[in-house]
């Protein structure tokens, strides 16, 4: 946990530091889980265990974020295929397969972001076992 605290204390620039603190509070409230610091500066809340059809197994963060200097990365696993209606109400963003990018947190509707995180966790739990961190 001290790794998480140290990580959050050292996020730069100051605007990103404030956004990271806001997101951490939001993710903690929504999930009820403490974050784990993953390689690459990702904070994960909860984890899921997966098994692919190939037989490959593993564990990964259930949801979380990374406060990158250029953009905030929000992770909703395993992807955004079914969330277009929610994303349409979110505000200015771009997306990848399982990652949402925000230039500034102020561009996003925070209630819609919370809705998206909850929807992502429900979808993930319907596919894979999700565990607290």
Predicted structure pTM score: 0.92
* Structure token pair of residue 32: 């009820």
Query: Which pLDDT belongs to residue 80?
Result: 65
| Full pLDDT tens readout for the chain, 133 residues | 569 999 999 999 999 999 999 999 999 999 999 999 999 999 999 999 988 889 999 999 999 999 999 999 999 987 766 899 999 999 999 988 889 999 999 999 999 999 999 999 999 999 889 999 9
DSSP 8-state code for residue 107 = G
| Nearest by Cα to 33 from 62, 6, 10 | 62
DSSP 8-state code for residue 119 = H
Architecture of domain 2-131: Alpha-Beta Complex (3.90)
Domain ranges of the chain: 2-131
């Amino acid at each position: 946990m001290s790794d998480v605290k140290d990580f959050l204390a050292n996020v730069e620039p100051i605007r990103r530091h404030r956004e990271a603190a806001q997101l951490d509070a939001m993710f903690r409230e929504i999930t009820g889980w403490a974050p784990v610091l993953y390689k690459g500066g990702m904070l994960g809340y909860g984890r899921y265990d997966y098994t692919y059809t190939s037989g490959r197994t593993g564990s990964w963060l259930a949801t979380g974020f990374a406060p990158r200097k250029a953009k905030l990365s929000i992770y909703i696993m395993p992807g955004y295929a079914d969330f277009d209606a929610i994303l349409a109400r979110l505000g200015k963003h771009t997306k990848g397969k399982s990652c949402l990018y925000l230039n500034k947190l102020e561009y996003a509707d925070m209630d819609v972001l919370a809705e998206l995180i909850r929807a992502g966790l429900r979808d993930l739990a319907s596919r894979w076992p999700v565990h607290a961190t």
